Structure 1
Amino acid sequence: MYQYNDFDTAFLTERNAQFRAQVERRINGSLTEDEFKPLRLMNGVYLQLHAYMLRVAIPYGTLNSAQMDMLAHLAAKYDKGYGHFTTRQNIQYNWPKLRDIPDMLDDLGTVGMHAIQTSGNTIRNVTADHFAGAAADEVADPRPYAELLRQWSTDHPEFQFLPRKFKIAVTGAEADRAVIRAHDIGLQLVEQVGEIGFRVIVGGGLGRTPMIGKVLRNFLPMADLLPYCEAIVSIYNRLGRRDNKYKARIKITVHENGIETIRDQVETRFAQIRPAFTGVDQTLLADIKAQFAAPDFAKKSEAPFTAAYDADPVFRSWADTNLTAHKAPGYAIVSISIKKQGDTPGDATAEQMRAMAELARTYGHDELRISHEQNVILPHVHRADLPALHATLKAHGLATSNIGLISDIIACPGMDYCALATARSIPVAQQIATRFDELKLEHDIGELKIKISGCINACGHHHVGHIGILGLDRAGVENYQITLGGDHTETAAVGERAGPGFAYDEIVPAIERLIAAYLHLRNSPDERFIDAYRRLGLAPFKAALYPAVNAGGKADAA
């Protein structure tokens, strides 16, 4: 992984010192909250319902054990003993005192971490496939390119005051595990006639106007990555609307101008600026790539894994659910669920973070990843070490066998924390997970993506959930809309609204009726919910959600 050099360290030290002085001025009253707001946002500090919140960047979701230990340290010393992993592969601390945040940033700097551009109308944390560098199906590791984009975009003078926030995601495989089609720019590494380059997608996004991105270029040579991205952002910076923040994202720019017009303008701008890129970026990329070399994979007997798999049904269930094929013989990718039924999705305690750091040191070549699905990944673990690793996970409440299942729910913080939220997300996720654990149906249901947002901003990605839940305020009462058929993968789709919303105490029974209908309607145990929905359409699922309407009654028009 990338290691900070002297320039990086000096840059971060200076930025942190500037922000420390700004905090002092806010505390002593020299700055009002309105004056302080743009300064704190540049450093990842929000004002939430109850306290300031610090959002720490985990670029492309990659960190080592020392960095995970530092995140645990921040949780224990400055917060309430836990942190919240987000859908942008970041971590948020919801309870720091403002006077402590400069110390937190200084602590982060000692392990090469920061909070720069995790907020504001700029290019946010660049995300990537959480299996990058390990996945058996990838064309190439996307993380070096994500790091190049991170360095290019950090404090870029032209792109600090864009019309709205701007998000980039990169994947190296045909299977999209990075939700690239719901990003402002989505980049997919592809191979064409023996050359590796990028498929470039623009104009994706969720929020109040969800849109799936459109292909801008089917193949972009690798050497053109930075100038082409700069051309895209330049055109957006010029055309993007500033009169209405709800119409300011690039998805609206693409929609209002048309993909052909955007393509023509981007290509023209690209031709203008391409000569200025003289190859320095490629020299930098070569240095970055060297830091992402694959570890030396060990050769061991898999006998301990086989013995545990045959003898221990709990281990077998976990292995079947939480392991993914690795590109190296004898290895597996381990997904650690931090969504034990009844817990808050995405929350990890300081003790759990330290345990995962130690597992990475002991068994995982000192690498961890954060997924956009709010779980933690050990990308390189030999199968011989999996029984011992599983035993440690059990001891720390981290061995839940539910990756990809109904309780592996994405949920935003909702009205428990967020000042923008209009409904609760966390309790709904907890109740759904607990209910289906009680019914012992999770594994029978199979793969199912439930995503929950507590407001229209869609931080919980509800639009692209197989089942999406959107919490809204209806005349002071929480109301939950259900969308069906969303998909965040290479077959991306925005879900279809099923009908009227449900009250807070009605949403879990509604989901239960929906799942019962799916189990009855599916062709076989192998037919996933999303596949059954695509085969059958909305009607039979809507009938299950609204039985009174189906029986001739009248639904609540909420």
Structure 2
Amino acid sequence: MYQYSQADHQLLLERVSQFRDQVQRRLDGELSEDEFKQQRLRNGLYLQLHAYMLRVAIPYGLISSEQMRTLAQIARVHDKGYGHFSTRQNIQYNWPKLEEVPDILDKLAAVEMHAIQTSGNCIRNTTSDPLAGVARDETEDPRPYCELIRQWSTFHPEFNFLPRKFKIAVSGAKHDRAAVAVHDIGLRLVKNDAGEIGLEVYVGGGLGRTPMIGKLIRPFLPAKDMLTYLEAILRVYNQYGRRDNMYKARIKILVHETGEEVFREQVEAEWNRIKDSALELRDEDIKAIKAHFRDPAYETLPDTDEAFENELITNPAFARWVDSNLELHKKAGYRIVYLSLKTKDQPPGDVTADQMDAIADLADRYSLGQIRSTHRQNLVLSDVKLTDLFSLWKELVELDLATPNYNHLTDIISCPGLDYCALATARSIPISQAITDRFESYDFINDLGDISLNISGCINACGHHHVANIGILGVNKKGVEVYQLTLGGSAREDASIGKIIGPAFTADEIVDAVGKVLEVYLENREDPEETFLATYRRLGQNPFKEKLYD
């Protein structure tokens, strides 16, 4: 895990001091809310429906147990006892008092965390595969490259006032768990025929009111050129991106309106001017960052355990959790564990202060002191011994963090919706909870298999509904909250945008509508191994539309 340098620490302390002064001037009436807005946004502070909301950056989703305890303390002392993990692997606090925000930032700085560039028209927190460094299908660990991007992008003077917010994701595995195709820039680490590490570069992905899949503008970029190429892309965007219309300001619109080939030519021309600059990464630069992400001292362990196998046979609840919430680890004798933040008793992505403290303790005892956050609003313990799984599971059950639903129907991505967000037009959380209540049976969701369902409370699509197999968009129609269904989306390596199936449903109808969609799938899949997405792509919309609107 990367450790901040003295320069990093100094930067954070100075930023907190500056913002403390700005907050005091706002409280004293020297700054109006409009004058204060740009200052607070650059420190991750939003003004929501009922209160301010603070978004804390978690670079590439990596959290130490010490950091998690600090997040718990902030939730307990400065909020209402919980935090909310977002699709950018960050954590948000919905109820901080303005006068206490500088104290929160001080506490974060003490454990190498901050809220810088979690808002505003700048380069946001870089996200990545939550299984980085431990996945069996990994070509190259993306975390060092994410850290290089973090250092390059933080307070970048040229890109602090972009036409619109800008998001980068990096993946290094065969399976895309970072949704690279729906980011402004998506990077996938690959090897060429000579065995050299490079990057596939995708540009122009994004959701919101105009969802688009990113375009592959370079199939192989040598790793040493990563920062110079990113710089070239950002310069073209900064120069030509729309500033006259915020709805057309994202880079996806520029790529679409310019044309993929012309955009690529512009980037390549700019890159040829700057690629031999000081931003070119030397081997020693990459090695120095990689040194912070060396493998821990894993034990040499067998990949089987008799006691574990016996528990699988005698304890069906444990067996269901193992089948659903575990991934194979690159090291024999270890497993990757998903902690589900999706229960019917809490909104998706929410975690209490007590749970955070307990997770930190579990990480210290079972997972080498580290936790990961995921873009699907769950948490991961990445290095758990096979022999510890049953003990860990029993503790997770007590904490209500052992719901066996990873990548199943009730593993729902949901934005805060109209319960919190000033931009929302409909509620998201009550709909997600109603779906979870209706379809909570493990046998049912397990029979459905791999399926994604996401909910957004407005066209901004913070719930990523466009790239869910089943997407729900809440909108306000003549004062009534209604919900559109989209089908066929994917955020993985086979990325696609879902299509609206037909007229919207009321809040009372939408759960039944989801049930009808699932009926069509179960009745028409070729065998239990055929996923919902494969069935939908084979059948098309018509059978689902007929069932929904007969």
TM-score range, shorter chain: over 0.9
Rounded to whole Å, the distance in 1 between the matches of 2:167 and 2:525 is: 37
Instruction: Show the counterpart of 2:38.
Output: 38
Task: Report 1:123-522 matches (<5 A).
Answer: 123-192=123-192, 193-277=194-278, 283-300=284-301, 302-437=305-440, 441-522=444-525
Contact 2:225 / 2:281 at 8 angstroms: preserved in 1? no
What stretches of structure 1 of length at least 5 have no aligned partner? 548-558
The one-character-per-residue Cα deviations of 1:50-81 (angstroms, maximum 9, x if unpaired) are 00000000010011100111111111110000
The amino acid across from 1:373 in the alignment is: R
Change (3 A) 1:120 1:95: same
Rounded to whole Å, the distance in 2 between the matches of 1:362 and 1:387 is: 13
Report SS of the residue matched to 1:71: helix
Q: How far has the Cα of 1:277 moved from its partner?
A: 2.0
Q: TM-score, with normalisation over the residues of structure 1?
A: 0.97
Contact 1:142 / 1:172 at 8 angstroms: preserved in 2? yes
The amino acid across from 1:464 in the alignment is: V
Q: How far has the Cα of 1:16 moved from its partner?
A: 0.5
Instruction: Show the counterpart of 2:4.
Output: 4
- Dislocated runs of 4+, deviation >6 Å: none
Contact 1:304 / 1:387 at 8 angstroms: preserved in 2? no
Deviates more, 1:525-534 or 1:410-419: 525-534
Contact 2:132 / 2:172 at 8 angstroms: preserved in 1? yes
Rounded to whole Å, the distance in 1 between the matches of 2:442 and 2:287 is: 53
The one-character-per-residue Cα deviations of 1:414-455 (angstroms, maximum 9, x if unpaired) are 000000000000000000011011595111111110000000
Rounded to whole Å, the distance in 1 between the matches of 2:475 and 2:137 is: 39
Contact 1:341 / 1:407 at 8 angstroms: preserved in 2? no
Instruction: Show the counterpart of 1:89.
Output: 89
Rounded to whole Å, the distance in 2 between the matches of 1:439 and 1:357 is: 28
Instruction: Show the counterpart of 1:551.
Output: none
Report SS of the residue matched to 2:255: helix
What stretches of structure 2 of length at least 5 have no aligned partner? none
Contact 2:459 / 2:475 at 8 angstroms: preserved in 1? yes
Contact 2:67 / 2:111 at 8 angstroms: preserved in 1? yes
Contact 1:482 / 1:498 at 8 angstroms: preserved in 2? yes
Report SS of the residue matched to 1:441: helix
Q: How far has the Cα of 1:259 moved from its partner?
A: 1.0
The one-character-per-residue Cα deviations of 1:467-512 (angstroms, maximum 9, x if unpaired) are 0000001011101000000000000000011000001111011111
Q: CA RMSD in A?
A: 1.1
Rounded to whole Å, the distance in 2 between the matches of 1:130 and 1:153 is: 21
Contact 1:175 / 1:490 at 8 angstroms: preserved in 2? yes
Rounded to whole Å, the distance in 1 between the matches of 2:281 and 2:168 is: 22
Contact 1:342 / 1:434 at 8 angstroms: preserved in 2? no
Rounded to whole Å, the distance in 1 between the matches of 2:155 and 2:306 is: 51
How many pairs were matched up?
547
Report SS of the residue matched to 1:333: strand
Instruction: Show the counterpart of 1:550.
Output: none
Q: How far has the Cα of 1:359 moved from its partner?
A: 1.1
The amino acid across from 2:13 in the alignment is: T
Q: How far has the Cα of 1:463 moved from its partner?
A: 0.3
Rounded to whole Å, the distance in 2 between the matches of 1:472 and 1:280 is: 46
Query: Are 1:63 and 2:34 an aligned pair?
Result: no
Contact 2:370 / 2:382 at 8 angstroms: preserved in 1? yes
Contact 2:224 / 2:281 at 8 angstroms: preserved in 1? no
Change (3 A) 1:278 1:130: closer
Contact 1:303 / 1:384 at 8 angstroms: preserved in 2? no
Rounded to whole Å, the distance in 2 between the matches of 1:278 and 1:168 is: 18
Contact 1:76 / 1:350 at 8 angstroms: preserved in 2? yes
Q: How far has the Cα of 1:282 moved from its partner?
A: 5.1
Instruction: Show the counterpart of 1:51.
Output: 51
Instruction: Show the counterpart of 1:556.
Output: none
Q: How far has the Cα of 1:520 moved from its partner?
A: 1.1
Contact 2:227 / 2:281 at 8 angstroms: preserved in 1? no
Q: TM-score, with normalisation over the residues of structure 2?
A: 0.98
Instruction: Show the counterpart of 1:27.
Output: 27
Rounded to whole Å, the distance in 1 between the matches of 2:446 and 2:315 is: 17
The amino acid across from 1:188 in the alignment is: R
Deviates more, 1:85-94 or 1:284-293: 284-293
The amino acid across from 1:172 in the alignment is: G
Q: How far has the Cα of 1:18 moved from its partner?
A: 0.2
Rounded to whole Å, the distance in 2 between the matches of 1:198 and 1:268 is: 19
Contact 2:340 / 2:378 at 8 angstroms: preserved in 1? yes
Report SS of the residue matched to 1:201: strand
- Aligned-pair identity (%): 56
The amino acid across from 1:380 in the alignment is: D
Instruction: Show the counterpart of 2:103.
Output: 103
Q: How far has the Cα of 1:278 moved from its partner?
A: 6.2
The one-character-per-residue Cα deviations of 1:160-192 (angstroms, maximum 9, x if unpaired) are 000000000000012111000000000000000
The amino acid across from 1:32 in the alignment is: S
